[in-house]
Structure 1
Amino acid sequence: MPDFADVSAGTAKLTMQMTESGRWPTEASAALYERARRSITDGTSRDTLLRTGGHPIYVDHGEGAWVTDVDGNRYLDCNNNFASIIIGHADPTIAAAVQARMARGTAFSFPNDSEVDLAELLCGRVESFEFIRFCNSGTEAVMAALKAARAYTGRPKVIKVEGAYHGTYDHAEASQSPNPTNWGDATAPSTVRYAAGTPASVEDEVGIISFNDAEGARAAIRRSGDQLAAVLLDVMPNRVGMPAIESEFISAIRETTREVGALVVLDEVISFRLGYGGAQTNMGIDPDITTLAKIIGGGFPVGAIAGRQGPMETFVRVAGNRAKVPSGGTFAANPITMTAGHAAMTLLDRDAFARLDTIGENIRSGLRSIFDRAGLNWQVTGAGSLFRVHPHHRTIRNYRDSHLSSDEIVEITEFGRRMQSRGVYLIAEGLGCVSLATSDDDIEHFLGAAEASLPSP
């Protein structure tokens, strides 16, 4: 079990004793949550932190691959702020760069050279990044990319993959969490509104295709024809189960969008951590627009829209007139985020990505061996620094294949809770990612915790 550390002022010091339930004590986190509920709706501004029920764990600090909560419990962090931390917590190089930049000011109503530095670095890595523009989150990046696609093509409709998550924009949320009662026919999935308050028009403006269904994609794109602005695609969507994308599916989307004059918007908010030039370089994909966030901010809020000159010119003012797609934001391209992002992306050279691939593969292969030894029909998907555990062994090609039954949800949720009680913090439903700070000893700790966390035979 990891050591306990002294916790911050105002919280109790605890001994290395688990509660009678076999889980670590979390009294200080519970107390903070009760305080929070008196001033924050639902007790936290991020509902993703409440998925496991009960109170969330409040963090005190992070260092390298580990975080320590306010009760003194330490966890190997395989959540990494939902895949946004890739170097590790409190990296000294990033910290030094940020501290030096902060001494010169944190935000201005002027552009600054740090924005140019990060733009040049990113555009220099990816062939399709002819121009780039920064914002503050992945959600903002997807919103802007879809608006740009509509403005460039003069068309209203978007197609996306069933089950894929692209942030909290109404159109991007469509069918991100359908179920057998509303998802419709597999060959022509229904468009299902996600949040209360989503306008009914979304059902007409967003078409849904099944991941890896090449013929279904061709048919849907052709049906939309001259009404289609773009297909929004994530090559390894976590809520779809992180199955491997099939080359025929990629080709079908790219060829048929060109046939009807629509764009491909590639969501690399998460998948950009798969390689030096992102997933598109690894897989030979040629998108018109790419959305970015998470790792390019070095641990600070960030988003970006990058792409070919044509669609990116929708953000350009002409003769002093308003751009087709006006965009801005008080903290967009602020010097702290740009500096941290440049420091992080500089550290992420080709050797760093090779190390991340090794860490991820050691975890995936180690989990498969553990499941085999236990005679457990579970499986692992993912690539690079990403992985997802599935409490079944059916073939996964799309969202419906990975959709969990109520019993499977209980199994994987309990697995995550047991992992947490053994000092490993995952994202949700068996999903995880690793940072460059993960050592071989950390991998051993992870696999030991996983073996001890399997369900009883």
Structure 2
Amino acid sequence: MAERIGSQVGGQRSEAQSAALYARARQWIPDGVSRATLLRRPNPIYVDHGEGAWVTDVDGNRYLDCNNNFTSLIMGHADPAIAQAVSAQMERGSAFALACDIEIELASLLCARVESFELIRFCNSGTEAVMGALKAARAFTGRPNVIKVEGAYHGTYDHAEASLASDPTNWGDAAAPATVPFASGTPDSVIEEVGIIHFNDAAGARAAIERQGDRLAAVLLDVMPSQVGLPVIEPEFIAAVREATREVGALLVLDEVISFRLGYSGAQTLLGIDPDITAVAKIIGGGFPVGGVAGREGPMSTFARVGGARAKVPSGGTFTANPITMAAGYATMKQLDHAAFARLDDMGEAVRNGLRSAISKTGVDWQVTGRGSLFKVHPHTRHIRNYRDAHLSSDEAAELEQFEHAMQAGGVYLSGGGFGCLSLATTDDDIAHLLAAATAALPS
């Protein structure tokens, strides 16, 4: 095994260069970074390079990357096939105001994999994909309102981020969760136009859908929302949402921006869900900015011009379906065969079981959730069915932050909230390193 500079569990690390860069960045960038998700105390870590499952920062510290740019890098860093595809396309040009055939190749590959993907339209991010999906649902149904799950993250669109970070001071009664705007300045209309339901509350979901009735355009659903704790979705909940939306003439919009990495045809095939529209992103871009709205021909027809008239939902973007992203995405998805997903499943199960074993040996009242290549550590043992079960007290949040800092010191880079994911570049030795770091990082 190659020497891993600074990756020893409990080793001493310097962050002097990252700290200096952060001080400089704050002179010109609000908060010092353009992505709030990169902030961590005392400063963000500045990367020098990545290779395979590992990243090296500007101070020479190496980390097993269990963030993978927030689940988007399913092949790991600097994958040779992706690098070759991107390099070949760069020699031909990076972006054009003309159509490129590689867009067709990626579109046909994705539509062949997923039964509900009759048509697909590309964009540049998961946020754009969710926005496009909701706009298509509104245009197709002629209705304004949407329903989403409390605590679920769907990007930075006002309607999609409602009740993302609600807490006991504002989330309302358990039987009637409140719609809580997330960003300051969110229009008051969001409260009227977005209904909130609990994850896994079949009766509550059905009642909310029926209550909205002919005002409801769509229910927006992530089948394994990370902010809700990566809970297991209950079949009764899925059935209630699907049946009730059909009864009132609304659409089911799945957010598979993250969960598309759970299987060859996404989570919807694993769970037997038949959505009308799906938002995808992350892994389909091979490490480049990407999003996609896919679905049945009816709602997807809202993106098409008819008889020369403007589409009901016009969409575009200077870098939408650019050939670099399309080439990287195609090179990625071609490698993701059934064997690749089986390997991801095996690795994910090994990590979750190893973490559970470490927790048991340490004797702390913690737990682990997840599926496929996703895992999440919780500093409590409450049964997690919804966001309120997973919501951390201030003491629990502090305990989890200490664990994450200790993991970072031990050479493992997680997402916030105890959330992590694996890439296909991960080896068995890497998993052993992760579990050793976790054992050392758990409270004693």
TM range (shorter): over 0.9
What SS does the corresponding residue of 1:404 show, helix, strand or coil? coil
| Residue 158 (structure 2) aligned to one of 157, 165, 170 | 170
What pairs up with 1:185-264 in 2 under 5 angstroms? 185-264=173-252
Q: Is the 8 A contact 1:210 1:399 kept in 2?
A: yes
What SS does the corresponding residue of 2:352 show, helix, strand or coil? helix
Distance 1:327 1:66 in 2: 37
What pairs up with 1:142-157 in 2 under 5 angstroms? 142-157=130-145
Question: Partner residue of 1:93?
Answer: 81
Question: Partner residue of 1:129?
Answer: 117
| Residue 29 (structure 1) aligned to one of 1, 18, 27 | 18
Q: Where in structure 1 are there 5+ consecutive unaligned residues? A: 6-15
What SS does the corresponding residue of 2:105 show, helix, strand or coil? helix
What pairs up with 1:38-57 in 2 under 5 angstroms? 38-50=27-39, 52-57=40-45
Q: Is the 8 A contact 1:98 1:340 kept in 2?
A: yes
* 1:276 alignment partner AA: Y
Distance 2:41 2:7 in 1: 23
Q: Is the 8 A contact 1:3 1:74 kept in 2?
A: no
Shift of 1:22: 6.5
Q: Is the 8 A contact 2:64 2:412 kept in 1?
A: yes
Q: Is the 8 A contact 1:265 1:290 kept in 2?
A: yes
Q: Is the 8 A contact 2:63 2:411 kept in 1?
A: yes
* TM-score (ref. length: structure 2): 0.98
Shift of 1:24: 1.1
Question: Partner residue of 1:13?
Answer: none
Shift of 1:2: 8.3
What SS does the corresponding residue of 2:417 show, helix, strand or coil? coil
What SS does the corresponding residue of 2:392 show, helix, strand or coil? coil
Shift of 1:244: 0.2
Q: Is the 8 A contact 1:2 1:74 kept in 2?
A: no
Shift of 1:416: 0.3
Distance 1:207 1:259 in 2: 18
Report whether the alignment pairs 1:449 with 2:420.
no
Distance 1:381 1:283 in 2: 17
Shift of 1:17: 11
Distance 2:203 2:419 in 1: 29
| Residue 401 (structure 2) aligned to one of 397, 413, 428 | 413
Q: Is the 8 A contact 1:58 1:70 kept in 2?
A: yes
Distance 1:117 1:451 in 2: 45
Shift of 1:31: 1.0
What pairs up with 1:327-366 in 2 under 5 angstroms? 327-366=315-354
What SS does the corresponding residue of 2:273 show, helix, strand or coil? coil
Question: Partner residue of 1:110?
Answer: 98
With 314-323 and 220-229 compared, the bigger mean Cα shift is at 314-323
What SS does the corresponding residue of 1:109 show, helix, strand or coil? coil
Report whether the alignment pairs 1:68 with 2:56.
yes
Question: Partner residue of 1:299?
Answer: 287
Cα distance per residue 1:356-389 (max 9 Å; x no partner):
0001000000000111111111100010000000
How many pairs were matched up? 443
| Residue 271 (structure 1) aligned to one of 256, 259, 277 | 259
Shift of 1:304: 0.3
Distance 1:143 1:445 in 2: 39
Distance 1:301 1:382 in 2: 25
Question: Partner residue of 2:311?
Answer: 323
What SS does the corresponding residue of 2:220 show, helix, strand or coil? strand
Report whether the alignment pairs 1:435 with 2:423.
yes
Q: Where in structure 2 are there 5+ consecutive unaligned residues? A: none
Question: Partner residue of 2:108?
Answer: 120
Runs ≥4 residues deviating over 2 A: 1-5
Q: Is the 8 A contact 1:164 1:234 kept in 2?
A: yes
Distance 2:290 2:122 in 1: 7
Q: Is the 8 A contact 1:133 1:304 kept in 2?
A: yes
Shift of 1:53: 2.3
* TM-score (ref. length: structure 1): 0.95
Shift of 1:455: 1.1
Question: Partner residue of 1:8?
Answer: none
Distance 1:402 1:25, change over 3 A: same
Distance 1:4 1:402 in 2: 35
Q: Is the 8 A contact 1:187 1:210 kept in 2?
A: no
Distance 1:143 1:226 in 2: 21
* 2:366 alignment partner AA: W
| Residue 312 (structure 1) aligned to one of 276, 295, 300 | 300
Shift of 1:23: 4.7
* 1:27 alignment partner AA: A
Shift of 1:55: 1.0
Question: Partner residue of 1:398?
Answer: 386
* 1:48 alignment partner AA: T
Distance 1:183 1:24 in 2: 41
Shift of 1:108: 0.4
CA RMSD of aligned residues (A): 1.3
Q: Is the 8 A contact 2:53 2:64 kept in 1?
A: yes
